[in-house]
Amino acid sequence: MKVAAIQLQPVIGDVNANLAACEKLANEAAGRGAKWIILPEFFTTGMAFDERLIKTALPEDGPGLTLLKSLSKRHNAIVGGSFLCRDDDGQVRNAFFLASPQGILGRHDKDLPTMWENCYYVGGKDDGTIKVSDMTVGSALCWEFMRSQTARRFLGKVDMVVGGSCWWSVPEWLPKSVTSNWETENSRTALESVSSFATFVGTPVVHASHCGTIECDMPWMPLKYRGYYEAGAMIVDADGNVLSIRKREEGPGIVTAEVVPGRIGPKNEIPKQFWLHKRGPLPAFAWMYQRWHGKRWYAKNMAGNQHTLPPKQTISG
Q: According to the model, what pLDDT value does residue 303 have?
A: 85
SS3 78: strand
Q: According to the model, what pLDDT value does residue 305 have?
A: 59
Domain boundaries, the chain: 2-301
Parts of the chain with a pLDDT under 70: 305-317
Helices and strands (DSSP H and E) totals, the chain: 6, 15
Q: How far is CA 118 from CA 77, 166, 287, in A?
A: 33, 14, 10
Cα–Cα distance between 52 and 160 in angstroms, integer? 35
Expressed in angstroms, the distance from the first to the final Cα of the chain is: 26
Which spans in 213-256 are helix H? none
C-beta separation of 161 from 140 below 8 A: yes
Q: According to the model, what pLDDT value does residue 218 have?
A: 95
Give me the count of residues in the chain.
317
Contacts for 182 with CB less than 8 Å, ≥ 6 apart:
170, 280, 281, 282
Contacts for 192 with CB less than 8 Å, ≥ 6 apart:
277
SS3 243: strand
Q: Which amino acid, one-letter code, is at 196?
A: S
C-beta separation of 109 from 94 below 8 A: yes
Residue 101: burial class (beta carbons within 10 Å; 0-12, 13-18, 19+):
middle
Architecture of the domain delimited by 2-301: 4-Layer Sandwich (3.60)
